[in-house]
Amino acid sequence: MRIIRTPFRAPNANAFAERWVRTAREECLDQLLVINEAHLRRILKTFIDYYNQCRPHQGLKQQIPIPRQQPMVITGKVERRKVLGFISDYYRQPEPTAAICPT
């Protein structure tokens, strides 16, 4: 395997990496005050999990890169959870199954 270095300050040389860095910076890092390296690692791990498992992507027709384990719930109450305290992630809570009375 050979490592090919991209030119310095040439965003078109590695557009995918540059786009991810821009997204992480605009959607996450610009909103927070990072205290130290360990704090930055925790922030980025949380954001990467959200980015790959919850955030819809335009290039994937509003799908997520890592498919969910469970089938997507179509009906039910819409809930919101906060990611990193400022990103809102919306999902559907499954409706409770109604008890059937055998009469």
Alpha helices for the chain (secondary structure H): 15-27, 37-53
Among 1-15, 59-73, 80-94, the range of highest mean pLDDT: 80-94
Domain span holding position 55:
11-93
Look at residue 50 and tell me if it is in a domain. yes
Q: Is this structure's pTM higher than 0.75?
A: no
Could you give the number of structural domains in the chain?
1
Q: What is the pLDDT of residue 30?
A: 92
Per-residue pLDDT band for 33 (boundaries 50, 70, 90) equals: very high
In this predicted structure, the answer to whether residue 100 has a pLDDT above a threshold of 60 is no
Q: Are 50 and 65 in contact (CB under 8 A)?
A: no
Look at residue 84 and tell me if it is in a domain. yes
Per-residue pLDDT band for 102 (boundaries 50, 70, 90) equals: low
Look at residue 5 and tell me if it is in a domain. no
Q: Are 88 and 82 in contact (CB under 8 A)?
A: yes
